[in-house]
Structure 1
Amino acid sequence: MLKEALAFKRPLIFADSFFVNKPERVEMILFLMSLCLLVYNLDQRELRNSLKRAKTGVKSQICKLTDYHTLRFI
């Protein structure tokens, strides 16, 4: 799960598209990215738990019913 969460080389994340001059700004960007990652993972966990509680699932890309999805897919 950690490997999936820290995959910063995805095409949706543009790490080199911003430039910061001060170390405080770098710290703030890292804080915001960590906070976003935390919120994303909490939402993903809530989605998976609610699918398990409802004993249902969502169709995957191959039309197979599953209760283990990521928010990126939904």
Structure 2
Amino acid sequence: LLQEHRDTLIDELWLDHDLGGDDSILPVVTLLEEAAFNGRPFRIGMVYVHSANPTGAETVVRSLTRWNYQVRRATA
């Protein structure tokens, strides 16, 4: 879905670390990191990370912040 909107400004992107079973959002985080590394980061206004997994959420926040994405941890 991100690739379909590659050149579009995405106002908000909401990410949850744990997706069920052994799946996590980390492949999407890697895609965002690689895009920034290659000098073409996705145009995202704010990435919100919400997760019941505090360690996983912090990993996502730290990884994306390192690449200058605007990131906030959303809490309930």
Normalising by structure 2, report the TM-score: 0.28
Bigger relative contact order, structure 1 or 2, given CA contacts below 8 A and separation 6+? 2
Give the TM-score normalised by the residue count of structure 1.
Answer: 0.29
Which has the larger Rg?
1
Larger helix fraction of residues: 1
